[in-house]
Chains A and B, each alone.
Chain A
């Protein structure tokens, strides 16, 4: 596989469920990101990891919990979400060690629906 792969592509969960989104990049990049894409709003940065270390948490509620076990894998653990959390969650990677250096490579996204 190449590029950035996200699973699952679609997820429906109740407000009391616990689920996880997974992202894997095969590009040898050092930085990985979680973004939230909602209708009528700009892409919102949630978390940034550089070399497995979290370098930014953009005031994200604690019901979203990221995990980066190595520089190729990124998870987003979901717990007691709200209906307004329904959105497309995009994972991205970039080659640089800075917050943003050059191009972001995005996965196809995980479409989350919270009932």
Chain B
């Protein structure tokens, strides 16, 4: 069974602060996705990382895939209240000619004005 551990589970910060959330596994993934789920909504894809060591930036969000493709991090600079939500990572690994996707439990982020 492939497991993804996300930390921290909960994070409450003030507007303007920086933060990093983590997604770790003992398994090697072919790719890893980050989703954000706002209250009352479904998850929305933020980024997909594929190559070990890859870094992608989306405005104030920086995503990194570990060199061994077992872990990933999401760093937010100068957090804003609009960043509030549940951040989910999802790892994909090959299975039976296709791919299987497993989600972590998520990090619930609250950014206070």
A→B interface (CB under 8 Å)? 4, 40-43, 45, 90, 92, 98-109
Contact = CB atoms under 8 A, between A and B. Distances in A.
B52 interface: no
A42 B43 contact: no
Interface residues of B, number: 24
B99 A43 contact: no
Contacts of B100: 99-100
A108 B102 contact: no
Given A40-B105, A42-B4, A42-B104, A101 B42 contact: no
Given A99-B98, A99-B100, 11 more contacts: A41-B105, A42-B4, A42-B102, A42-B105, A90-B43, A98-B97, A99-B99, A100-B92, A102-B48, A104-B45, A106-B42
B68 interface: no
Nearest to A102: B48
Contacts of A100: 92, 98-101
A103 B45 contact: yes
A103 B43 CA distance: 11
Nearest to A50: B98
Interface in B6-62: 33, 35, 40-45, 48
Contacts of A45: 101
Contacts of B98: 98-100
A100 B92 CA distance: 8
